[in-house]
Each structure stands twice: as C-alpha cells, then as structure tokens.
Amino acid sequence: MHAYFDNAATTPLDPEVLEAMLPFLSQHYGNPSSLHGPGRQVRAAIENARKTVAHLLGAAPAEISFTSGGTEANNAAIFGSVRALGLRHAVTSPLEHHAVLHPLQALAKAGDIELSYVRHDAQGRFDLAHLDELIATHPRSLVSLMHGNNEIGNLNDIEALGALCAGHDAIFHTDTVQTMGHYRHNVQALQNHFLVGAAHKFHGPKGVGFLYTRPGTQSVPFIHGGSQERNVRAGTENVYGIVGLAKALEIAYRDMGAHRTYVQGLKDRFIEQLRAQVADVQFNGCSADANCSLYTVLSVSMPPSAISEMLLFNLDISKIAASGGSACTSGAQAGSHVLEALRTDPDRATVRFSLSKMNTADEVDYAVAHLAKLYQPVTV
C-alpha cells in the first residue's frame, strides 16, 4: 500500500481539473495579450476564471490578480503595500511561513521597516492584547498573520484579527494558502486588505496562485515588465494553470461540506488510534483540537527514541509519505522555525500528517500500525 499524507505540501490533481486544463495545453495556445482570434479566445478563458474566483470569494473580478503561486502573492502584498503606503512598521509572528517571514525580514534588514513579533503561548495561540499594544503605538502598521498554520495546524480567528487591525487603521494581510479551498472566505465579511491562494493546495496545478486586494488599498507592482493583470503583475499569464485554479476552487466550494466531514473523520481516526497504540504520543500546537485547528493537518510528537532521527526515512521505506514540518524547509525536521518557536522537546520527533479527500481509512490504519511497530519497546 502507498499512503500519501503530505497534502499540506501539495495535493494530487483532481481529474476534473485536468480535463478543464487539457484544451489549453493543446488546442488553445494563443497569447492572451494578442489581439487576434486565438489570443482573444485565451483572454476570455482567463477573465472567466477571474470571475469564478471572485464570485466564490464575494469579490469583484478587478480585485483578483493571478500569480505564480502563494509565495509570489505574499511577496506582492508585503512589498507592494509597504512601498506604496510608505509603511514604517510591520507586525508578524515567528510561526509564519517563510514566504511571509523572509520578505518582512528583508525589508527590516534594509531599514525600510521596523519589524515586531506578536507573542504566542506554548500552543502557538497569539496574544491579541500584545498585538493591540504593538499596533496602537505606531502611526500605521502592516499586520501579516496567517489563517491556518501549515506545520502545526493552528486555525487563527482572522475575523477578530481584522477587527483589531481596523480599529487602528492597520493594513491586514493574511496568508490563506493552507485554508483556501478548505474553508469559505467571503471578503465582504472580512476586514482583510489581502488574501492569497495557491492552486496546488486544493487539488489544482502547481505554479499558479492569486492575490485578492481590497479596493482602495494602495500597492505597487512586485514584478515589472508588462501591462498584464491590469498593470498589477507583469508577465504572460499561465493560462492553463489559471483555468485549472478556477476549476479546482469551484470544485472545492461545491464539495466543501462533504469534504470537511470526511477528512475530519480521518483525522479523528488518526488521533484516536495513535493514542491507543503509541505510548506517550503528543500533538503539537492545537493540532488535536477540532475547534481550533485545520481538519487537514495533524502534527504528531513521538516519544524520545533511538529511531527519532530516522523516523521519516522509515515511514518512506514503508511507502508512507509525510513530513517533519513544512516541505519548504527540506525533508528534515531539524530546523523547523515553528517547532523551535514553540520550544518543543528536541528529543521528540515530529511528523506532520496532512490529509485530503483522496485519503482513505485503510491508509490511516496502515500508517498508525507502522508507527506503533516502530515505537514498540525493545524486549531483552
């Protein structure tokens, strides 16, 4: 059996999405900036995709810009807003994805901004009183805090965060890469200035994403060189990727209720069986609490053992694909800035199981059985 539990890194492509993309990989190859018939045909596909994404988010089409993925979208929001608005202060957390931390740290290193970090507790929950204090003492701030943590699964209250930011006229950017396609985002009910999405996190293609920008929010282009995307993002559009993104998000919204119930059931099964079969198993952050964590992510802390350093290797040999944290920081769990910030026990091995609608109960049982076998006490 093969068991793929690394869906927070990337998800399998949905067959419906591939079907929607195929004509734009073979038949419809015009450049969308060209004025001739083949170009106009492809341009229409992009604009239809933009309308689909906007409709699902409760946005206007002009508020959606297509990018090469979540990393570019986050960079565009951060650099674009700081430069356009002349912001001198930003607030983030040490638990953010590097696609947010590194741009902010680069701006701070260059002397463009002062960078503050909001405090969090041992489970990774933000101290909102501290956030309020940080943005109240600066004229105007950029606040960048994620919706769902890709490593420990914590789900943050972006409605509360948005309201707090609005009270201080702060610009609020939220990395929604892990929650887009899994939770409903309606920008009319939120107070975010920026939201982002990456298609490959919800069964779409890799290499394409989008940035939502609230109307009236000033920003400057992050990539220069052409007038594509209404002068927001230069470069010939990834047409088949954009078509696939829109189709994948459409499917995700269509099936979200059933998908969530099914995947949460798999996660609950994982937790229950791990607790029953592995002594001293623990869970990082809020990962095991269904009320405040992503239903797609389970961060498991295994007891100290001689095999801890080889845990992922042993799982891989058994054809179980999982990760130690973020796939963007290599396959090794050592060096996870999130786990380091939480001050987890370095003698315990962390393995992140991330699930999707394509996983099965048999795969969960298979993975737990192998973990239990690896951690059985050695008898002399």
The model's pTM: 0.94
Which is nearest to 105 in space by CA: 92, 121, 122? 92
| Fold of domain 15-254 | Aspartate Aminotransferase; domain 2 (3.40.640)
Is the Cβ–Cβ distance between 154 and 285 less than 8 Å? yes
* pLDDT at res. 120: 97
Is the Cβ–Cβ distance between 204 and 238 less than 8 Å? no
The one-letter code for the residue type at 85 is L
Task: Tell me the catalytic residues.
Answer: 328
Three-state DSSP at 196 gives: strand
Give the integer Cα–Cα distance in Å for 200 and 238. Answer: 14
* pLDDT at res. 227: 87
Order the strands of the 297-302 sheet from edge to edge: 282-283, 297-302, 349-354
* pLDDT at res. 228: 93
Give the integer Cα–Cα distance in Å for 75 and 80. Answer: 8
Residue 380 class from Cβ within 10 Å (0-12 exposed, 13-18 middle, 19+ buried)?
exposed
Give the integer Cα–Cα distance in Å for 287 and 152. Answer: 6
The domain locations on the chain are 3-11+255-374, 15-254
Contacts of 330 (CB under 8 A, 6+ apart): none
Nearest 5°: CA angle at 305, between 3 and 361?
20
The one-letter code for the residue type at 294 is L
* pLDDT at res. 327: 46
* pLDDT at res. 160: 96
The count of other CB atoms within 10 Å of the CB of residue 15 is 9
10-residue averages of pLDDT along the chain (380 residues): 96 98 96 93 97 98 98 98 96 97 98 97 96 94 98 96 96 98 96 97 98 94 90 94 98 98 98 96 96 97 88 95 66 71 91 98 97 74
Just give the CATH number of 3-11+255-374: 3.90.1150.10
And the tokens for 325?
């944290």
Beta strand 171-174 pairing with 194-198: parallel
* pLDDT at res. 251: 98
Contacts of 2 (CB under 8 A, 6+ apart): 319, 321
And the tokens for 368?
């737990």
And the tokens for 184?
């409903």
Give the containing element (helix H, strand E) for 213: strand 209-213
